[in-house]
Amino acid sequence: MSFYVKLEDVHLRFKDMKSTDLSLRRLAVGQLMTWFGKNKAEPAEDKMPEVLRGINLELRDGVKLGLIGGNGTGKSTLLRVIAGIYRPTAGRVEVQGRVTTLLNSGFVLDPQLTGIENIRLGCALLKIPNNQVTSKIEEIVEFSELENSIHQHLEHFSDGMRSRLGFAIATSVQPEILLIDEAIGTGDKFFIEKATARITQLIENSSILVMASHNESIMRRICNKVALIRDGKVADLGDVDEMLGNYTEAA
Amino acid sequence: MSSEVQIYTPEKSLKLRGMLSVLKEFFGDLADAYFTSGYSVLSAYYEIKSRYETSVLGPLWMVLSNIIFISVISLIYSSAFGIQLSDYVPFLTAGYLLWMLMVNIIQDGSVTFIWYGHLLKNNKISPLVIYSRLFSRAVIIFAHNIPVIFLIVLYYKGFVFNIPELLFGLTLFVTCTFFMGLAISIMACRFRDIAFVLPSIFQVLILMMPILWKPEMITGRKTILLEVNVIYQLLEIVRAPILGGFVPLHYYINCLALLVVSFLLSAYLYVGSKNKLVLWS
């Protein structure tokens, strides 16, 4: 089976939600005013700019795409659109394959529960079949190096321990399509190396990768294509060295 | 491992979609939330468990505070209304605890998507999974109260339960509340003032419902107040079988109608906004 990601002229515009739009009372009063002709003001135009303005991308098996571009150009939004978290306002997204996301805030853990309970919940969220859960748990505990504290509540975990656990859970399933946003987690130096090794392994075994990052050395090592995102469009797409060279020069 | 092709396009307006396609999607997500992932029930269970671990009595504190409330109110109101304690205590216990179940589901539900918005933003997860977590939690907490109701009725009235009617009524009550809570939770995510207004509404509602006072106290033409109060009837189809009473047939019919209405409302709200909740939360 071949996996692919296809985006055809994808646009996305967030709605401008002012605090007044969030109030049912204000909405009702405004509506009444309009009915009785007291409210002459035309409804304000949607002034929010489009975040994505016509993205066309086709990624086939084996493509490891790096996304570069300044802050707020739509890289993270694009990842969320591919993951199906945000719906496009125009265009079409087609994805074949199991998508795993490692987005900014990563996996969400519940601080009131113990480490092991969080792992079990994570397994349920990732829809790991019941007969594999036990072996997955062992694997996650071992990888996150939390054997001694896994039955404690997360409240007693340090930030580093939490992010190790979150990372281990999120990367416990081999994805077919992997979406990564920015650098991966915190932890001591040793764990970062270990995490990078695991990510590299996941990437090697996954058929498609889309990664947004500002870290050029990681990109050179992992990606085989780079797209420059500017103003919500794919401004340029090409080989890694060429693209990164141009980008650095322009900057 | 094979997986289906996922296609994401701009949402069609619900007006353009047939009712069948809306209901199909709703049922699919419902089944997914409860049967496929197991996340909702598991997370509710862990949350309750952690409450037991962090305090001596855990959720039993809530049971205790309910018992204290019921005892105090029973002493005062039974003499104020001139009703015998043996009659009033079971009546108040059953009514009040069922009412609290409904309040918990709807009030917790109203903040579901605001609290757990981060889950929606970082994972492709159905909002129903998150809602059913809160729902399961409310039901588990209510389960703590069941022995209280049972023992109090047994002590004051003996074994008067009408089990088949009770089971039917309770199922109807819980499903109805599930859908009403879902509809309100979606609206409360869109309109943030709803979550603030709900507690005041419930405060007024509990006084309007025959929970502290008995329905028989209303006579003559004013009984219309009970005949149009479907929420009261929903409560009564569970409470009456507990107390060995009789449920008029039209109460069941009204409650089934309420079920259909709240089901359709929540199905349309859910399918129409499940992809927008992530933007609102």
What confidence tens digit (pLDDT) does each residue in A91-103 have? Answer: 889 888 888 887 7
Beta bridge partners of B5: A96
What confidence tens digit (pLDDT) does each residue in A153-169 have? Answer: 888 888 778 878 888 88
Confidence category of residue B242, pLDDT binned at 50, 70, 90: very high
- In the prediction, which pLDDT does B91 show? 93
Nearest CA in chain B to A153: B50
Q: Residues of B with CB below 8 A from A102's CB? A: none
What stretch of H or E contains A99? strand A99-102
Residues A191, A111 contacting (CB under 8 angstroms): no
Task: Compare A176 and B155 and report the one with higher pLDDT.
Answer: B155
The proportion of chain B whose per-residue pLDDT surpasses 70, expressed as a percent, equals 98
The residue-averaged pLDDT of A102-110 equals 66
Mean pLDDT for chain A overall: 81
Q: Residues of A with CB below 8 A from B33's CB? A: none
- In the prediction, which pLDDT does B178 show? 94
Mean pLDDT for chain B overall: 87
Nearest CA distance, B119 vs chain A (angstrom): 7
The residue-averaged pLDDT of A54-74 equals 86
Nearest CA in chain B to A95: B6
Nearest CA distance, A211 vs chain B (angstrom): 15
Confidence category of residue B2, pLDDT binned at 50, 70, 90: very low
Task: Compare B262 and A160 and report the one with higher pLDDT.
Answer: B262
Which conformational region is residue A179 in: left (phi greater than 0), alpha (psi within -120 to 50 degrees), or beta?
beta
Confidence category of residue B71, pLDDT binned at 50, 70, 90: very high
- Whether B235 has a pLDDT exceeding 90, the answer reads yes
- Whether B177 has a pLDDT exceeding 90, the answer reads yes
Least confident of A3-12, A24-33, A105-114, B76-85: A105-114
Whether residues B9 and A88 touch (CB distance < 8 A) is answered with yes
- In the prediction, which pLDDT does B23 show? 87
Q: How wide is the angle at C-alpha B193 spanned by C-alphas A30 and B211, nearest 5°?
A: 120
**What is the Cα Rg of chain B in Å?**
21
What confidence tens digit (pLDDT) does each residue in B106-164 have? Answer: 998 888 888 888 788 877 788 888 888 888 888 988 998 999 999 999 999 888 888 89
| Alpha-carbon gap, residue B154 to B143, rounded angstroms | 17
Which of A1, A80, A121 is the best residue to mutate to test the B interface, defined by the most B CB atoms within 10 Å of its own CB?
Answer: A121
- Whether A5 has a pLDDT exceeding 80, the answer reads yes
Nearest CA in chain B to A129: B37
- Whether A21 has a pLDDT exceeding 50, the answer reads yes
Whether residues A86 and B278 touch (CB distance < 8 A) is answered with yes
| Alpha-carbon gap, residue A58 to A41, rounded angstroms | 45
Q: Residues of A with CB below 8 A from B3's CB? A: 96-98, 176
Could you tell me the two tokens for A221? 């090592």
Residue given tokens 């797409």 in the structure block: A237
Nearest CA distance, B41 vs chain A (angstrom): 10
Whether residues B122 and A105 touch (CB distance < 8 A) is answered with yes
The identity of residue B18, as a single letter, is G
- Whether A43 has a pLDDT exceeding 60, the answer reads no
Nearest CA distance, B11 vs chain A (angstrom): 8
Task: Compare B67 and A204 and report the one with higher pLDDT.
Answer: B67
Residues B172, B256 contacting (CB under 8 angstroms): yes
Non-local CB neighbours of B268 within 8 Å, separated by 6+ positions: B14, B22
- In the prediction, which pLDDT does B8 show? 83
- In the prediction, which pLDDT does A186 show? 52
- In the prediction, which pLDDT does A104 show? 57
| Alpha-carbon gap, residue A201 to A174, rounded angstroms | 9
Residue given tokens 């092991």 in the structure block: A116
Note the helical H segments in chain B. Answer: 19-31, 39-54, 60-81, 85-115, 117-122, 127-157, 163-190, 193-208, 224-227, 230-242, 249-273, 277-280
Confidence category of residue B240, pLDDT binned at 50, 70, 90: very high
| Alpha-carbon gap, residue A181 to A79, rounded angstroms | 8
